[in-house]
Homo-oligomer: A and B are copies of this chain.
C-alpha cells in the first residue's frame, strides 16, 4: 500500500534507529515540525496497518521497527517518481539538479563511477 507524506516523516524518523518507542519518535520529530503527540501515534498506527512497520510489546508500550527497508523504499519511490515526472528518463532528472546547483563533488564522483561501471557492462 501507498505511504503518505505524513506517514513517511514518521517512517524516516524510525529508520534513524530502532526498535523505538512512540514517544521517542515524537521527540525525534519535535526538532523538525510541530505535531501533536496524538498525530504521531495515529500515523504509527496507520503504518502498522499498512504493514510498513511492526512492534513488540515492552510492558504496556510498544517498540516499533520498520518492516520495509529504507533502500528498497527509496528505490521503488525513485522509479515511480522518475516515471511520473520525467517520463522515466534519468538524465533530465540529473540535469534538473545541475540547474539547481545541487550537485556536490561527492555526487560527481559517484556519477563517474556509475558511468564507468555502466561502460564496463555495455560494450
Give the docked Cα–Cα distance between A94 and B98 (Å).
13
Contact of A94 among B79, B81, B111, B119 (CB under 8 A): B111
In the complex, residue of chain B having the shortest beta-carbon distance to the beta carbon of A80: B5
Contact check, B107 vs A89: say whether CB atoms are below 8 A apart.
yes
Q: How far is the CB of A28 from chain B (nearest CB, A)?
A: 13
Tell me the dominant secondary structure on chain A's binding face: helix
Q: How many residues of A contact B (CB 8 A)?
A: 45
Minimum distance in angstroms from A115 CB to a CB of chain B: 6
Write the residues of chain A forming the contact surface with B, with a CB cutoff of 8 angstroms: 5, 8, 12, 71, 73-75, 77-79, 81-82, 84-100, 102-108, 110-112, 114-115, 117-119, 122
